[in-house]
Structure 1
Amino acid sequence: MDGLLDALRARLGAAHILTAAEDVEPYLAEQRRLYRGEALAVARPGSTEEVAFAVRACAEAGVPVVAQGGNTGLVGGGVPRGGLVLALARMNRVRDIDPVGATATVEAGAILSDLQDAAEAAGLLFPLSYASRGSARIGGGISTNAGGVQVLSYGNARDLVLGLEVVLSDGRVWNGLRHLRKDNAGYDLKQLFIGSEGTLGIVTAAVLRLFPRPRSTTVAFAGLASPERALALFTRMRDACDRDLTAFEVMPPFGLDIVLAHTPGAVRPLEGAHGAYALVELASARPDADTRAEMEAVLAAAMQAGIVEDATIGASEAQNQALWSLREAMPAAQKREGASIKHDVSLPLARLPAFLAEASAACEAAMPGIRVCAFGHFGDGNIHFNLSQPPGMAREAFLAEWGRFNRIVHDIVHAMGGSFAAEHGVGLLKRAELERYGDPVGLDLMRRLKAALDPAGILNPGKVVAGPPSDRGLP
C-alpha cells in the first residue's frame, strides 16, 4: 500500500492524497448514518487521466476503489469497504454548453445546481432536480439513475444522458462523449454504466440533454378525499395537459401536519382537513402557453365531478415556491418526528391506491402507534413509503424492526408487480432485497456483466450484486 500511495502522491500531488484519520472520516459514512465504512486513503483526482492512473494503480495492487461525488446517497452505495476512495469533487467543470444542439458536457464532480444555473444562463433548462441539488454531483446522479420531481415530462437521468466518459476497472478510458440523439452503431454501452452505482466503471464526464426554459409555470395544491381521487385527478391532468404536466406529487394528512408543525413560516394552504393532498405543476416553453388557464379549467371540471374538494393556485413565482416548499420540507419534518424506516418503491399507477391502503393497514397492525408517511412522485408511480416511530418508543428499538417492515412492505410491492428500488438504487441497504425479489435469470446476467467488466472485483465491492467469493460475505 505504501508503494501505491507514493505513486498516487507523485501523480496527483501529495495535497490530494488524504491518509490522516480526521481527513478520511468525512468520506466513511453516508448521510443517514446507517453505514460506516473504512478506507486506507482518499484520493482527489483533478482530471480523467488522474482517475485512470489511480484505478490502474489500484488494479495492479489489488486494492478496491469506490468513487464518491457529493456523498448524498440514501442506500450506502458510496460507503467504502476498505481500499481507496476516489473523491471526484475537483472534477467540477461544466466543459461546454451547446445552445444549438441543446446539450451540456460536464464533469462528474459538477454540482447539480451549478449545471442548472449554467443551463439557465444559456436560456435553457436542465430538468433533473431533487432535494440535494445544492450538494449532489452529476456523477452520482448518473450512477444511481436519479429521478426527482420532473420525471413525468423529462424522464430519469438515463433519459437525459447522450454520452459518457468512463474509466474501466483496468484503468482504460472509454470515450463515449457523443452528442447524438440517434446512434445505433452497436450496443448502447452508456446504458450499462447508468444506474450501476460505480460497480462496472467510474463515470468521469457526460453529455446531457438540455431543454427550452418554461415561459409559463403554474403550481396548484389540491385537497382530495383519498388516494383514489388523487389518481383520478392525475389522469385528468395528464389527458388534458399532456407534456405540460411536469410534476404530480401526493402528500398524506400526517405529512402536511408535520411540515406545518416543524417548518418556520409554513402556512396551511387550504381550509379544513382532507384525506390526501396533491401538488400539481404545469409548465410550458410555448410562447402562447397559458398554464394558469389550463390548470383552472382542469381543476374546475374535477371539482364539479366531485374529484377535488378544494384547491389553491399560486398567483406568483413566490407563491409557487411556497407551495413547493410544503412538499420539499417533508423529509426534514419527518426527522423532527423521530426515527424513520424508509421504503422507496414504485408501483403500476393503477395499483397505487390499493398498495397504500394495504401496506398502511399491514404496518399499523404490525406495530400499534406507528405513523405512515407515504408521499412522493405519484404521477410516475414512485412512493416514499416511510414509517415514523410511535411516540415514546426508543429510536434504536424502532430501527431494529426495519427488516420486519421490509418484508411487510416489499412483499406487497412485489405481489403487485412493483419495485423495492424506485430511484435511490440498491447499494448496501437493498442488496438482500435484490437477491430475494430479483428474477434469477436477471441476477445471473448482472453477475456476468460484473465479472466481465470488473473481473477482479475492485470497483465498489459489496454493492448491488455479489461479485467474487471474497465479496459475498459483506453485509
Structure 2
Amino acid sequence: MPDLIDRLRYIVGAAHCLVADADTATYLTDWRGRYTGRARAVVLPADTAQVAAVVRACADVGCGIVPQGGNTGLCGGATPLDDGAAVVLNLSRLRAVRAVDAANNAITVEAGVTLAAVQAAAQGVDRLFPLSLASEGSCEVGGFVSTNAGGVQVLRYGNTRELVLGLEVVLPDGRIWDGLRALRKDNTGYDLKQLFIGAEGTLGIVTAATLKLFPALASTATGWVALADPAAAVALLARLRAVAGDRVTAFELISRPSLALVLKHFPDARDPLDAPYPWYVLVELSDTRADSGLDDLLQSALQKALEEGGVLDGSVAVSGAQAAVLWRLRENISEAQKREGVSIKHDISVPVSAIPAFLDAAGRALEAAYPGLRVVCFGHLGDGNLHYNPSRPLRGENDAFIARTLEVNRVVYDLVQAYGGSISAEHGIGQLKRDLLPDYKSAVELELMARIKLAFDPQGLMNPGKVLRAPFEAI
C-alpha cells in the first residue's frame, strides 16, 4: 500500500513511520518472545490529532491497526499477526501529564506515559497512584488501561477499571471521544469508558486517561512469612484483615519453586529465612498516618499465628531498604522464569476460599498425567489471582512437555471453571487465549461481545485477531 505509507509519512513525519526491517523489529515481537508478527509499517504519532489522522487513513483503505504501548503485555495482544496486513500504532510519544488536580484526587495523563511516571507525578503533589506492577518502569497508560491491569495492590485499591475516572479515545472511524471527566458521580446513561477498559484496543485507541489518586502513605510494614500450605495462607489473610482491615495492602503467595528460580538466576538474591519452606506470603500493611504502629501490629499478628501453628517462620522488614529487597524477590519471579526457559503460563483467578482446593486438585491431576512436573505458582492471593506455570525441570525434557500445552491448558482451565474462576485474571486475552474463550464463556456472553465489537468497529480493523476470532463470529 504505497499510497497509505505516503499518507502516514505525511501525518507523522518520515522519521516516525518505520518500514525497514531493522527499524521495526523491536515492535513486532512480544516481551516473552512468544509471538512475532509482521506489519506494513510501525507508526509513532506525537499527539491525539495524529492518532486520529492515522486511524482515518487506515480506515479509508481497510487496513488493520494494532495499538501498542510499552509492549510489556503477556498474551500477544500488542503484537501484529503474521499476515503483515496491519499497521502497528505505537503510542509511546504521547507522554504529557496534562493535569494534576490534588484537591480532586485526579490526574490526567496521555497514553504513552509510563506507570512509574504516573506514580512520580502523584508523589509530587503528596498523593498516591496505587497501581503497582513489576513492569511499571516500561508499561504505559494506554496499555494498562486496555488490559485492565491488576498488580499487587488490587486487594485494597482494585483493578485499573476501578482507578479510571475518564478516557479520551480515538474511535475506529477516526473520531475522537473526549470522556476525560474527573467525576465520581455521573449518571448520564451508559458508562462508555468501561467498554474500552480491558478491551485490548479492539474497540478504539485510548489516547489519554483521567485516573484516581489517593492520600500518600506515611507508613508501611512488610513481612515475609513461611507456611505449610495455601490453606494456612488463606487463614493468615483472614487473621490480618480482622485486625488491620483495609490496611492490608498486599498479600502475595509464593511457592518454593518460584523463590528457587529467583535465587538461581539473580546472584544477589538471598533467601530471607534460614531454612526452605514449601510456601511463603509477602504481606504489606500501609497507612496514611506515620504513627500507625503497623510494625507492632504485624509482629503481634504473626507471633500469635506462629504460636498457634498457622505460621512456620517469618520476619518483618526493619527498614524500607529491607522491604525493597523482599519485594524484589517477588517482582523478579517472571524474569527468572524467562531466564530459566519456556513454561506453560496460566493467569487465572478463583475465589480466595477455593484456592487451596484448586491448587490441590490441579497439582494431583497434573502430576498423574505428567509425573515429575515442576509448577511455579505465585500471585495475588488476596484477590484470588494466581500465576500457575508448569514446566519440566530439565530443559532437555521440556520441549516435549510444551508441545502438550493444549492438553495441560484443558486440565487447568477445566478445574478453574469447576471452582467458579476465570481463565484470565489480569493479563487479558490477546492471541494467547482467544481460541479458548468459546469453551469458557457462554454463548450469550460471546454474542454480546461480538455485537459490541460490530457496533464500534464494523470493518473489524481494530487490533484484528485479538480477543475475538472475528467480529461477526458469535452473531
TM-score by length of 2: 0.97
Please say if 1:197 is aligned against 2:200.
yes
Counterpart among 398, 406, 409 of residue 406 in structure 1: 409
Q: Look up the match of 1:438.
A: 441
Match of 1:25 in 2: 25
Q: Partner amino acid for 2:267?
A: P
**Do the aligned partners of residues 414 and 319 (structure 1) sit closer, same or farther apart at CA in structure 2, a change above 3 Å counting?**
same
Q: How far apart are 1:17 and its partner, in Å? A: 0.9
In the alignment, the residues of structure 2 paired with residue 266 and residue 10 of structure 1 have an alpha-carbon distance, to the nearest angstrom, of 50
Point out where structure 1 has 5 or more consecutive residues left out of the alignment. Answer: none
Equivalent residue for 1:265, pick from 255, 268, 277: 268
Moved more, 329-338 or 311-320: 329-338
What residue in structure 1 maps to residue 342 of structure 2? 339
Q: 1:337 to 1:13 in 2, by over 3 A?
A: closer
Q: How many residues align?
A: 471
Classify the secondary structure of the residue corresponding to 1:238: helix
Q: Equivalent residue of 2:396, what SS?
A: coil
Q: Are residue 464 (structure 1) and residue 467 (structure 2) matched?
A: yes
Pair 1:68-2:68 in alignment: yes
Tell me the CA shift for residue 394 of structure 1: 4.2
SS in 1 for 2:462: coil
Could you tell me whether the CA contact under 8 Å between 2:450 and 2:471 is conserved in 1?
A: no
Question: 1:112-127 alignment to 2 at 5 Å?
Answer: 112-127=115-130
Aligned residue number for residue 147 of structure 1: 150
Residue equivalent to 1:357: 360
State the 1:212 CA deviation. Answer: 1.2
Counterpart of 2:282 (choices 279, 300, 303) is 279
Partner of 2:252: 249
2:429 to 426, 446, 461: 426
Report deviation, 1:365: 1.8
Amino acid in structure 1 at the alignment position of 2:208:
A
Inter-partner Cα distance in structure 1 for 2:278 and 2:27: 42
**Structure 2 Cα separation of the partners of residues 98 and 344 of structure 1:** 35
CA distance in 2, matches of 1:266, 1:36: 32
Q: Offset at 1:468?
A: 4.3
State the match for 1:328 in structure 2: 331
- List per-residue Cα deviations over 1:224-260 (Å, max 9, x = no partner): 1111101100111112111110100011122222222
1:174 matched to 2:173: no
**Deviation sequence 1:78-115 (CA, Å, 0-9, x none):** 11132211110110111111111111100001111111
User: What's the counterpart of residue 217 of structure 1?
Assistant: 220
Measure, in 2, the Cα distance between the counterparts of 1:258 and 1:176: 44
Distance 2:7 2:403 in 1: 44
Identity %: 52
Could you tell me which residue of structure 2 aligns to residue 37 of structure 1? 37
**Equivalent residues of 1:168, 1:201 under 8 A apart:** yes
| TM superposition shift of 1:440 | 1.1
- 1:290 is aligned to 2:293: yes
Q: 1:468 to 1:98 in 2, by over 3 A?
A: closer
Equivalent AA in structure 2 for residue 428 of structure 1: Q
Q: Which moved more, 1:112-121 or 1:256-265?
A: 256-265
Task: Return the offset for 1:274.
Answer: 2.3
The worse-fitting range, judged by mean Cα deviation, of 190-199 and 331-340 is 331-340
Could you tell me how far 1:218 is from its partner in structure 2?
0.7
Give the whole-Å Cα distance in 2 for the aligned partners of 1:21 and 1:372: 38
Provide the C-alpha distance between the structure 1 equivalents of 2:404 and 2:62, rounded to a whole number of angstroms. Answer: 38
Q: 1:59 maps to which residue? A: 59
- Do the aligned partners of residues 261 and 34 (structure 1) sit closer, same or farther apart at CA in structure 2, a change above 3 Å counting? closer
Q: Distance in 2 between matches of 1:94 and 1:427?
A: 28
Q: Secondary structure at the match of 1:250?
A: strand
Q: Deviations over 1:114-163 (max 9, x none)?
A: 11111112211111111111111110000000000110111111010000
- One-letter identity of the residue aligned with 1:329: N
TM-superposed deviation, 1:392 = 4.5
Paired with 1:424 and 1:440, the residues of 2 have a C-alpha distance of 23
Distance (Å, rounded) in 2 between the aligned partners of 1:56 and 1:468 = 20
Deviations 1:352-409 (A, max 9, x none): 0011111112112222221011111011100000113231534432321211110110
Q: Which moved more, 1:286-295 or 1:172-181?
A: 286-295
Partner of 2:141: 138
C-alpha separation in 2, matches of 1:343 and 1:287: 39
Aligned residue type for 2:2: D
Counterpart residue identity of residue 72, structure 2: T
The TM-score, its normalising length taken from structure 1, stands at: 0.97
Say if 1:339 and 1:398, in contact at 8 Å, map to a contact too. no
Counterpart residue number, 1:6:
6
Q: Secondary structure at the match of 2:445?
A: helix
Q: More displaced, 274-283 or 419-428?
A: 274-283
CA distance in 2, matches of 1:467, 1:258: 39
SS of alignment partner, residue 187 of structure 1? coil
1:234 alignment partner, one of 229, 233, 237? 237
In the alignment, residue 49 of structure 1 is paired with which amino acid?
A
SS at match of 2:200: coil
Q: Which of 336-345 and 420-429 deviates more?
A: 336-345
Contact 2:341–2:395, Cα closer than 8 Å, also in 1: no
- Give the stretch that moved more between structures: 387-396 or 448-457: 387-396
1:206 and 2:204 are equivalent in the alignment? no
Instruction: For residue 340 of structure 1, give the secondary structure of its aligned residue in structure 2.
Output: coil
* 1:154-213 Cα distance to aligned partner (Å, 9 max, x none): 111101000000000100110000000111111000000000000001000000011111
Distance 2:352 2:314 in 1: 23
Deviation at 1:286, TM superposition (A): 2.6
Deviation of 1:301 after TM superposition, in Å, equals 2.1
CA-based RMSD: 1.4
On the 8 A contact 1:339/1:389 being kept in 2, the answer is no
1:310 matched to 2:317 = no
Runs of 4+ that moved beyond 6 A: none
